[in-house]
Amino acid sequence: MLDSADLSDRIAEIIADHQGLEGPLLPILHAVQAAFGHIPQPAVPQIANALTLSKAEVHGVVTFYHDFREAPAGRHILKLCRAEACQAMGADRVAGAIKAALGIDWHETTADGRVTLEPVFCLGLCACGPAAMVDGRLVGRCDASVVLEVSA
């Protein structure tokens, strides 16, 4: 783990890398999340200060978008598509089986910190559903056995 001085240095670096952009807040938040796996709480006032925004404005943006998380996820992130084209291929059934196998619901992480289950509304794999994303890897025509890929 980084101590708070390291954290703040790293965030300052990220802010400096993006400050020339027009409307830099989303690129900064993406970079912070890529670096830390979530948006650490101290990042919010630091970013707000650098961009002359209020803390509330930055917090508002972090919480508006589904992608940004305020706490670390599990070691694996399993995203299952819930949208119509995947529903037509039985995505609800697959999701039900996976939830039962993991013992968690949407947005939850298993007690051992192994896997976080997230819904996603469309991965653009609508002619080979149900679709999933396992730690960034795309899976078409997925079934409940996709949980085996997040077993370690």
CA angle 89–92–95, rounded 5-degree value:
115
Identify which of residues 25 and 101 has a Cβ nearer to other proteins in the complex. Answer: 25
Q: Is 2 helix (H, G, I), strand (E, B) or coil?
A: coil
Q: By rule CB under 8 A, what string of x and - marks binding of each residue 12-51 to other proteins?
A: ---------xxxxxxx-xx--------------------x
66 touches other proteins (CB under 8 A): yes
Name the nearest CA neighbour of 17 among 2, 30, 28, 29: 28
Nearest CB to other proteins, comparing residues 2 and 141: 141
Q: Out of 55, 84, 135, 145, which residue is the one contacting other proteins (CB under 8 A)?
A: 84
Q: Is the dihedral of CA 108, 114, 2, 133 positive or negative?
A: negative
Instruction: Name the segment binding other proteins (CB under 8 A); options: 2-10, 37-45, 96-104, 116-124.
Output: 116-124
Smallest distance, other proteins to C-beta of residue 104, A:
19
Q: Least distance (Å) from other proteins to the CB of residue 6?
A: 26
Cβ neighbours of residue 142 closer than 8 Å, sequence gap 6 or more? 80, 94, 130, 131, 132
Structure-block tokens of residue 109: 């992480």
Q: Of 5, 136, 148, 151, which one interacts with other proteins (CB under 8 A)?
A: 136
